[in-house]
Structure 1
Amino acid sequence: MTEKEIVDYLHNNEIHKIKFAFTDIDGVLRGKLIHTTKFLEGLKDGIGFCDVVFGWDSADACYDNVELTGWQSGYPDKLAHIDLDTFRVIPWDNNTPFFLADYKKNDLTDLAVCPRTLLKKIASECKSMGFVPSFAQEFEWFNFKETPQSLEEKNFHQLTPLTPGMFGYSILRTSLEDAYYNDLFDLLCAFNIPIEGLHTETGPGVYEAAYFHDEILKAADNAALLKTSVKEIANKHGIIATFMAKISEKLPGCSGHIHQSLWNTDKTKNLFYDANAEHNMSELFNQYLAGQLYCLPHIVPMLAPTVNSYKRLVEGAWAPTTITWGFDNRTTALRVLNHSHKACRLEQRVSGADTNPYLAMAASLASGLYGIKHKLSLNVQATTGNGYSNKSNGSIAGNLMDATQIMKKSDIAKELFGAEFVEHFTATREWEWRQFSKHVSDWELKRYMEII
């Protein structure tokens, strides 16, 4: 819809409020409900929003180690610019109009640490090279018969799963909660998140959803909105949905795999596919894959951004631990699917469900483009069999601090994303590690309290 059509829609339907939001550095959706008058006034010049949303963590604790904002700056407003192309209505909230926004430092300068702004910059670079990036992200998550209050009362332990047992691809289990299951599919589609498939995964109360691929910015918008939308729809049914990467050492983790391909400008040709080439992989695809393999050690925190992320990245848990690739191999970091022109793509399997989709997709695309720009050769052999045992090309960092230090010192990361973003983002990951390191866990209490 054009700006005039949106304005006419609001007036003709006597709509007096709209909701807009954006993701912070952790991928948490932050936003406001505002009067239509304020929305219309802000279309040209933007809407002031306290920049603390990029100066605190997911628990609203203010960073003490970033330059962007803080007590030293007084936490001023920065300008949020609503993207009218993201207009949709929320079907489970009285069809309230909804928009996504980007952040600017001022009228002329983009805010380098805004995740959506970063992705737009890299997507624009991709298009300037003559490619249209087509992406999608699939998500797994656990569902519990709980509320925010009961989580607190139970101290996040002994939660009741939506359904019991390990039952992937179950038709039976979904029938126990068919109102919720059908609402997820129908309401997400009505919210312009076109669901391709929805099913149970192995694990008590685990669902998985995939949506149709699209140009990368729309794909990231859909991914970011899917996570919060699922939680809101779940709340309507007295259910808590969690996108933590790993909730228990005894259960599988929750992935957020990213599927990606490059197309020509009129979107008629998949540039990764070449029927006359070995394995149907074009030279462009080989370079893109080589770029991701080469850059992977430098971008891990953007794919695994929390302390918990690395509990998922362990051997034998359907998540990769080595810097490997293979053909339809689910034990490698990068999985090539090359059977047809339409579906030829690269699946990046490091990302968990806890990622910020804008950052994970930006990291994937930027590293692939690095391979194309530098004409990298694919000199890493495809892994056949167990990718966990193939350490010939290195392993993924084992924890958030190690991964962050590699990225912080990396000239490649600064080339891909800019020094300002890398400095701020890695500082936020160091903060996250500090918060974890001073915490006394249940494991420590059980192991040391009596015996040591």
Structure 2
Amino acid sequence: MASNEAATDQKWLRDFVAKNRIHTFKIGTVDLDGLWRGKRISSDYFVDSVAGNGTFICNILFGWDMQDEPIPDLAYTGWRTGYPDINLRPDLSTLKVVPWEPGTASVICDIHERDGSPMELAPRTLLTTMVSRAESLGYQPIAAYEFEFYLFRGTPRELATRHWRDLEPLSEGHHTYSVYRDTGNEFLIGEVRRQLAEYGIVIEASNSEHGPGQFEVNLHYSDAVQAADHALLLKHAVKELAVRHGYTASFMAKVRPGWAGSSGHVHQSLCSEDGSPAFANTADPGNLSDVGGNYLAGLVEHAAELTALFLPSINSYKRTEGGEWAGSSSTWGLDNRTVAMRAIPGAGAAARIENRIAGADANPYLVLAANLAAGLDGIEQKLTPPAPVVGNAYELADGKAPRLPESLADAAGRLENSVFARKFLGDRFVEHFVATRRWELKQFAAAVTEWEIARYL
């Protein structure tokens, strides 16, 4: 960066700090499990140094699991490498004042290796690469997330002391879309909407969902990277705001067998270079455009190979078992919520495709990167989608539609052996991600569950 540009940025940042009385910047990056990890930095140090040069952090961020246990035998890093530093480089376009933390601002960072090169394993880098690929084909990806999550009475510490047993949801029973029941929950859900709006993340709508204490929020659409950024910050913010009221928010895919699973459906479309909606079909609004059909075909074609990114944990597959309002086969349909890919055609910008496979537990950057890789391949190869499913996709006879992987082990194997995934996501990323999933499988295999004790003791 030229010295005059650096000086201009510093002045702008100092004005920002003074105007908003910022004393702390919380900065971080997203890891493979979708957790936001980083540091809190004093405002002076951020303005004088970190904003331009970044800050260093141990690359263990990509060498351990979500419980901070180091994963052995990873090619990227380990005890043999000494866990050296990587560089967190703030993306100042993500700079926001945190409304519920007076004097605090947040920034999302990209990751660079010590030599300055972008880190290939970083989910945000992977998504940015897929966006660049779309732009090279003349398209701008647009996306919007909708999340389901549960709220439980008690802070995470209080629930942990009870070993996560006897969970008491914020509300009882199944009251989907109940305006009356939502009134009683508005003290918390309403604050989430208002605080997020002030944070620059617009929740278009919220409602109670099918599970007790379960809620859904729908985010406003934006470009793909910003959509993933907003998804990350929303999940983080919901947890922080819930704790302030003495509650715990969970985006776990399946909390209990009899309760609805929590999805992370992603709506997506493309804009052409002139800004027009590429999926819109003015001549036949009941169907997607040819480009939209090609993109849809790519999503269906590669769904099974990418399932490990959509369903990344052992628990993820409990949500897709049976008719659970989640895609469980390589299928699509017109405004059909039993298929994997729900086509929502139209004559204008609302024409889009909804991927219904991903759970709320999935990493939004990896989900969007995988969708773009598959959809753009469909466009490049001019793929044609199979016949749409009319009716209940869960009741399709065997052989009528390929089933998606039904376990993390199967999904990891499909990803590992995917020529397509390796071509577009990279050998290094695929091998590293698969290794982390196999570690998760190994940890689960060694665990003694309450089900086993109750059944066999």
Work out whether the TM-score is over 0.5: yes
Q: Is the 8 A contact 1:139 1:257 kept in 2?
A: yes
Q: Does the Cα contact within 8 Å between 1:256 and 1:351 map onto a contact in 2?
A: yes
Query: After alignment, is 49-58 or 270-279 more displaced?
Result: 270-279
Query: Secondary structure of the residue that 1:335 maps to in structure 2?
Result: strand
AA aligned to 1:190 is: E
Kept in 1, the 8 Å contact 2:149–2:216? The answer is: yes
Residue 95 of structure 1, CA deviation: 4.4
CA contact (8 A) 1:65 1:431 kept: no
2:26 aligned residue (19, 23, 29): 19
Q: How does 1:276-425 map to 2 (within 5 A)?
A: 276-277=283-284, 279-378=286-385, 380-390=386-396, 391-425=399-433
CA contact (8 A) 1:314 1:320 kept: no
Give 3-state SS (helix, strand or coil) of 1:138's partner: strand
Match of residue 104, structure 1, among 109, 112, 117 = 112
Q: Work out which of the residue numbers 169, 174, 188 in structure 1 matches 2:177.
A: 169
Preserved CA contact (<8 Å) 2:285 2:346: no
Letter in 1 for 2:192: L
| Most deviating of 274-283 and 125-134 | 274-283
TM-score by length of 1: 0.96
Distance 1:30 1:427 in 2: 21
- Is contact 1:161-1:205 (8 Å) kept? yes
How far apart in 2 are the matches of 1:173 and 1:54? 42
What is the correspondence of 1:217-296 to structure 2 with a 5 Å cutoff?
A: 217-267=225-275, 269-277=276-284, 279-296=286-303
Secondary structure of the corresponding residue to residue 393 of structure 1: coil
Higher deviation after alignment, 333-342 or 156-165? 333-342
Letter in 2 for 1:282: S
Tell me what 1:426 maps to. 434
Checking the alignment, whether the CA contact within 8 Å between 1:151 and 1:159 is kept in structure 2 is yes
The question of 1:91 aligning with 2:99 is answered yes
| CA–CA separation in structure 2 for the residues paired with 1:18 and 1:278 | 47
Give 2:300's aligned amino acid. L
Q: Does 1:129 align with 2:137?
A: yes
Whether the 8 Å CA contact 2:64–2:71 is kept in 1: the answer is: yes
- Aligned match of 1:446: 454
Q: How far 1:8 moved relative to its partner?
A: 2.3
- 1:384 and 1:45 mapped to 2: Cα distance? 55
Shift of 1:12: 5.3
Distance 1:246 1:162 in 2: 17
User: Is the partner of 2:204 in helix, strand or coil?
Assistant: strand
**Partner amino acid for 1:414?**
R
Partner letter of residue 323 of structure 1?
A: S
Cα deviation digits, residues 137-189 of structure 1 (max 9, x gap): 10000101111222122211111110111001122222223321221110011
> 1:390-426, CA deviations, whole angstroms, 9 ceiling, x for partnerless residues?
3423101010011001101211110120111111111
Distance 1:240 1:65 in 2: 35
Tell me if the contact between 2:21 and 2:103 (Cα under 8 Å) persists in the aligned partners: no
Q: Residue deviations 1:213-246, cap 9 Å, x none?
A: 0000000000011001000011111110100000
Residue in 1 that maps onto 2:210: 202
Question: 5+ unaligned residues in a row in structure 2: which ranges?
Answer: 1-7
Alignment partner of 1:116 is 2:124:
yes
Q: CA deviation at 1:14?
A: 5.3
CA displacement 1:53-81 (0-9 Å, x = unmatched): 11111100111131111101111110110
Q: Give identity over the alignment, percent.
A: 38
Three-state SS of the structure 1 residue aligned to 2:138 is: coil
- The counterpart of 1:67, out of the listed 54, 66, 75, is 75
Distance 1:56 1:442 in 2: 26
Give distance in 2, aligned partners of 1:119 and 1:22. Answer: 13
When residues 9 and 307 of structure 1 are mapped into structure 2, their CA distance, relative to the original with a 3 A threshold, is same
Q: 1:173 to 1:13 in 2, by over 3 A?
A: closer
Tell me which stretches of 4 or more aligned residues in structure 1 moved more than 6 Å: none
Measured after TM superposition, the shift of residue 287 of structure 1 is 0.8
Q: Over residues 59-117 of structure 1, what are the superposed CA-to-partner deviations in whole Å (9 max), with x where a residue is unaligned?
A: 00111131111101111110110000001011001141110001112343111111111
Asked if 2 retains the 8 angstrom alpha-carbon contact of 1:91 and 1:191, the reply is yes
Distance across 2 between alignment mates of 1:323 and 1:357? 20
2:4 is aligned to none
Q: Quick one: structure 1 residues 106 and 266, their matched pair in 2 at CA, closer, same or farther if it must change by over 3 Å?
A: farther
CA distance in 1, matches of 2:274, 2:227: 18
Given that 2:20 and 2:97 are in contact with CA atoms closer than 8 Å, whether structure 1 keeps it comes out as no
Cα deviation for residue 325 of structure 1 reads 0.3
When structure 1 is superposed on structure 2, of 145-154 and 245-254 the one drifting more is: 145-154
Partner of 1:435: helix, strand, or coil?
helix
Distance between the aligned counterparts of 1:140 and 1:297, measured in 2? 23
Q: Is the 8 A contact 2:127 2:369 kept in 1?
A: yes
Query: TM-score normalised to the size of structure 2?
Result: 0.95
**1:141-220 mapped onto 2 (5 Å cutoff):** 141-220=149-228
**Code of the aligned partner of 2:137:** M
CA gap 1:14/1:166 in 2 versus in 1, 3 angstroms: closer
